[in-house]
Chain A
Amino acid sequence: MKELLLEVKNVVVEFQTEDEVVTAVDGISFSLRRGETIGIVGESGSGKSVSALSAMGLIPSPPGRIVSGQITYHSKEKGPVDLVQLPADEMRKLRGNELAMIFQEPMTSLNPVITCGNQVVEAIMLHQKIKKKDAEQKTLELFKKVKLPRPEHIMTAYPHQISGGQKQRVMIAMAMSCNPNILIADEPTTALDVTVQKTILDLMLDLQREKEMSILFITHDLGVIAELADKVVVMYKGKIVEQGSVLDIFNNPQHPYTKGLLACRPPLDVRLKHLPTINDFMEVDAAGAIVEKEQTVNEALYHAEITTEERKQWHTELYSRPKILEVKNVKTYFPVNKSFFGKPTEFVKAVDDVSFDVYEGETLGLVGESGCGKTTLGRTILRLVEPTAGLISFKKQDITALPANEMRALRSDMQIIFQDPYSSLNPQITVGEAIIEPMRVHNLYKNDKERKEKAMDLLRRVNLTEKQFYRYPHEFSGGQRQRVCIARALALSPHFIICDESVSALDVSVQAQVLNLLNDLKKEFKFTYIFISHNLSVVKFMSDRMIVMNKGQIEEMGDADDICDNPQSEYTCKLINSIPKGRMEDIIRSIENKKKLAF
């Protein structure tokens, strides 16, 4: 056993809101040893980020405050200190030096007007008192160590000039710059593609081994930390409901919430009718107490499974139906360089010669990394972006040449649900109004009273209550907002819906609920979906057939199960391999690996 580095004891953090005091963290205790990785898992609002920020002394105060408890840190120089009581300037010497942190949003976590190099140089010079030239040399070495391509170039580049994955590498370089004892990583890969996530996780593991650093890894997805963590702490509503070794948690989860988190991830190896959710394992009664339902993870998955026979039958029926959408040789180019007179001279080929059909009632999955053209393709189909060339016909009607007013009428039949439920609702408009508005625009129903009835009905269908009709978007959680967006798309009774990364911004537990909802609604209203996502396991769960896109072109197209079981292209293999699956054999292998390296 290595020595203790961090002991958190009975920490309580409260936030003062306008009318009440909210307890964000409610008496948590855990400890971290040198070289150990602890995964803190929980849904948004469970207090996992606040716990990490309190260890860094970064809780925004006011309104936040550590009410009681101790966070004992065993410092290299100072010996054991209580981080809760430490004066601010003492804390500052530890922060960024012995305790480092990387954040969820690499896109916004770097200062846009300072070069990447200088931001790291600044951190080094602050704590190490060396010359600027040496600090620059050190930064360059760090950039090489975190495997940034062309490190000399990135020294002088501004954050907007490099990709999201590269930004996160710069953040890691910054955090590693003073060889911290503890690295706190707050959802460092959530905003990244799975393929990039994999490389970042591998990098963190390598660095940890080399420096014997401890990591606190915060995430909402148990799968991400399966091969990384030694210990797992599960948080729910500010409390730790379960903690134990990663093997115990995955093999024999005790708390129903942990079971729910394990079961709600869309699996790659089996085909499910619906995803188990937290609610299949527990309920919260009126008094706020958790009532457990007797069920194991495997039982829940077994009940949800769909047989090959059932699926075959459904597909025979499905593919005898007429095609609802035909896409032929569609190209969408964006000009990047224009001549002096505004004539484009250079293009980005976002969608490059893509053809496919969609049958009535089908769910067609569209998967690929960010920048592969999947979103542009989705928008081109709705003509939110005009195609450069090609043919798109919807219900046997060519829509590429349709005049604007006819296209607008057609849009009531073709809807899109966007990625970000936070920004796609107008904060000034009540949720009810947001649902009624499209009906009014398209002159559906006789009057506002009937429209309101319909909107109420839709709210019920997406499992919200009628009371929430009068609420504003900020009063809703991310999952609830996405339900509102779904209800708004359904308001026009469309036949064809494009879901563009509709669940990517949500926690896995919420994601499962929304995916189930989309499937239930599809059965009820006989929808046709195009489901776009960067997450192959989510796409696989949803789709009948699947298209893998890469660099604007179709890499592979076919039955979703076939592609996952037997991928033909190298690119698809890469996508599948980079998904954190959380399988037992992977966890055991990684534990064996760690042991081997320790000797």
Chain B
Amino acid sequence: MLKFIIKKIVYGFVVLLGVVTAVFFLFNVLPGDPAAILLGQRANKDAIEAINKDLGRNRPLTVQYVMYLNDLSFISFHNKNNKQSAFYLDKDKYSYKYAVSLSDNDCMVLKMPYFRRSYISKRKVSEIISDTLPETAVLAISSIILATIVGIFLGIIAAIKKDTFFDRFSLVLSALGMSAPSFFVGVIIAWLFGYVLSEYTGLRTIGSLYEYDDYTGEKYLSLKNLILPTITLGMRPLAIVVQLMRSSLLDVLSQDYIRTAKAKGLSFYAVITKHALKNALNPVVTAISGWFAGLMAGAVFVEIIFSWKGIGYEVFDALTKNDLPVVMGTTLVFATFFVVTNILVDIIYGVLDPRIRIK
């Protein structure tokens, strides 16, 4: 098992390296001069040159690539003294904890990845991410919890009451939930519950997890703003979970070992809970964990509609302004999420199904 996990982690790193390479070269062949964006109206030839030098853009692409990798790596190599060097250990850029001197000039550093700075706000990208990521994570987690609990529950009932009105009704609803695009549903939900019915619901069309008090300017937690975005984002996974759970349970109920369980004299309830559920949950739980990363990345529309100040909102903003470091940084964070959840899914699979555990 341990060998299996180590292998998965190694594969994961290779995948991430591939993503970094693709992201780097893709964004470097895109048109647009970052220096001009940075300077805006004040652009003049000297300033542009100075900035290009600072970004390393006057060096060959391969050197830039190595610089980028060095910036991203947890362990990196730097020049301590020469400010002209591409690898100069700039205290402004790197927040490092430990540095080991290798020679008079060179040193090895243990640090957090450096995603560069935003062209627009000049803030460190890592700061932007650490500000907005929790908001998106809260949204994604609450959506997935909603989808899991309600979806599994409805799926079980639909399977047990197969071919009844409830079963057909839930199938129609879930087909609807699957086919309706989130930007459309989001607008409808925001309008209906946040505007038309807002007197009764007490909800607003837009808002973030943390709000600032109008008078005192104090930051406070506003959990009710979470409700509508959660429903919007969770609707599609919910619809899929219902159908998956239903078909999975129906499949399990037709298996021979369910007949064996009945032949033992177990009651219907015991057959479902003790024998059918564990088998039927396998594919569902695996699928849910797999979607989590997708929800994080897919929250963009929902965040824009509800002005939820999450990472998706930030990416959208950066894309419209050509703010490449932010786009690149967030892309890498999403990719990491996908890789990590995939490793987790593999492990969960083994825990749930002993047939896979042994190998």
Contacts and interface: CB of A to CB of B under 8 A. Distances in A.
A110 interface: yes
17 contacts: A58-B263, A89-B267, A93-B265, A95-B262, A95-B263, A95-B265, A96-B264, A96-B265, A103-B256, A108-B255, A108-B256, A109-B257, A111-B257, A122-B264, A122-B266, A126-B266, A340-B3
B358 interface: yes
A441 B265 CA distance: 53
A56 B358 CA distance: 36
A105 B260 CA distance: 11
B265 A92 contact: yes
Interface in A98-146: 100-101, 103, 105, 108-114, 122-123, 126-127
Given A95-B265, A112-B355, 9 more contacts: A58-B263, A111-B257, A111-B279, A112-B353, A113-B352, A113-B353, A114-B275, A160-B355, A160-B358
Given A114-B275, A340-B3, A158 B354 contact: yes
A97 B265 CA distance: 7
A64 to B, nearest CB: 13
A459 interface: no
A340 B7 contact: yes
Contact of A113 (B262, B279, B358): B279
B321 interface: no
A422 to B, nearest CB: 15
A128 to B, nearest CB: 11
B260 A109 contact: yes
B278 interface: yes
B304 interface: no
B53 interface: no
Contacts of A158: 354-355
A103 B261 CA distance: 12
A92 B255 CA distance: 20
B267 A92 contact: yes
Interface of B: 3, 7, 255-257, 259-267, 274-275, 278-279, 282, 352-355, 358
Contacts of B279: 111-113
A182 interface: no
A100 B265 CA distance: 9
Contacts of A93: 265
Nearest to A62: B163
Interface string A134-175: 000000000000000000000000101100000000010010
Given A108-B257, A113-B353, A158-B354, A101 B263 contact: yes
Contact of B265 (A108, A110, A127, A161): A127
Contacts of A56: 263
A110 B257 contact: yes
A126 B264 contact: yes
Given A103-B256, A113-B278, A96 B263 contact: yes
In the A-B complex, the 8 residue pairs with the closest CB atoms: A96-B265, A96-B264, A108-B256, A95-B265, A111-B257, A158-B354, A123-B264, A109-B256
A90 B255 CA distance: 24
A17 to B, nearest CB: 15
A127 B266 CA distance: 9
A111 B258 CA distance: 8
Contact of B354 (A89, A100, A112, A174): A112
Interface in A73-96: 89, 92-96
Interface of A: 56, 58, 89, 92-97, 100-101, 103, 105, 108-114, 122-123, 126-127, 158, 160-161, 171, 174, 340
Contacts of B278: 113-114
A363 to B, nearest CB: 36
Contacts of B262: 58, 95
A69 B303 CA distance: 67
A90 to B, nearest CB: 11
A110 B256 CA distance: 8
Nearest to A56: B263
A158 B352 CA distance: 13
A93 B355 CA distance: 32
Instruction: Indicate the member of B3, B265, B278, B354 with the most A CB atoms within 10 Å.
Output: B265
Nearest to A342: B7
A122 B274 contact: yes
A502 B352 CA distance: 36
Contacts of A92: 265-267
Nearest to A123: B264
A125 to B, nearest CB: 10
A69 B255 CA distance: 29
Contacts of A89: 267
A267 to B, nearest CB: 33
Nearest to A113: B278
Contacts of B267: 89, 92
Contacts of A126: 264-266
A301 B8 CA distance: 64
A469 to B, nearest CB: 31
A96 B266 CA distance: 9
B8 to A, nearest CB: 12
A140 to B, nearest CB: 18
Contacts of A114: 274-275, 278
Contacts of A95: 262-265
A512 B213 CA distance: 87
B263 A112 contact: no
Nearest to B3: A340
A112 B257 contact: yes
Nearest to B264: A96
Nearest to A89: B267
A379 B261 CA distance: 38
A110 B265 CA distance: 15
Contacts of A110: 257, 260
A96 B353 CA distance: 27
Given A112-B279, A113-B353, A160-B355, A94 B260 contact: no
Instruction: Indicate the member of A89, A110, A114, A161 with the most B CB atoms within 10 Å.
Output: A114
Contacts of A105: 256
A111 B265 contact: no
B288 to A, nearest CB: 18
Contacts of A100: 263
Contact of A111 (B7, B263, B275, B358): B275
Nearest to A124: B264
Contacts of B358: 160-161
A114 B266 CA distance: 15
Contacts of B259: 58, 103, 109
B267 to A, nearest CB: 6
Nearest to A120: B264
Contacts of A122: 264, 266, 274
Contacts of B265: 92-97, 123, 126-127
Nearest to B255: A108
Contact of B260 (A103, A113, A127, A340): A103
A123 B266 CA distance: 8
Contacts of B263: 56, 58, 95-96, 100-101, 103
A540 B242 CA distance: 54
A105 B257 CA distance: 10
A428 to B, nearest CB: 19
Contacts of B354: 112-113, 158, 160
Contacts of A111: 257, 260-261, 275, 279
Nearest to B252: A111
A46 B261 CA distance: 25
Nearest to A95: B265
A160 B259 CA distance: 18
A101 B262 CA distance: 10
Instruction: Indicate the member of A103, A111, A123, A160 with the most B CB atoms within 10 Å.
Output: A111
A11 B262 CA distance: 22
Contacts of A340: 3, 7
Contacts of A174: 260, 264
Nearest to A57: B262
Nearest to A106: B256
Nearest to A174: B264
A171 B358 CA distance: 23
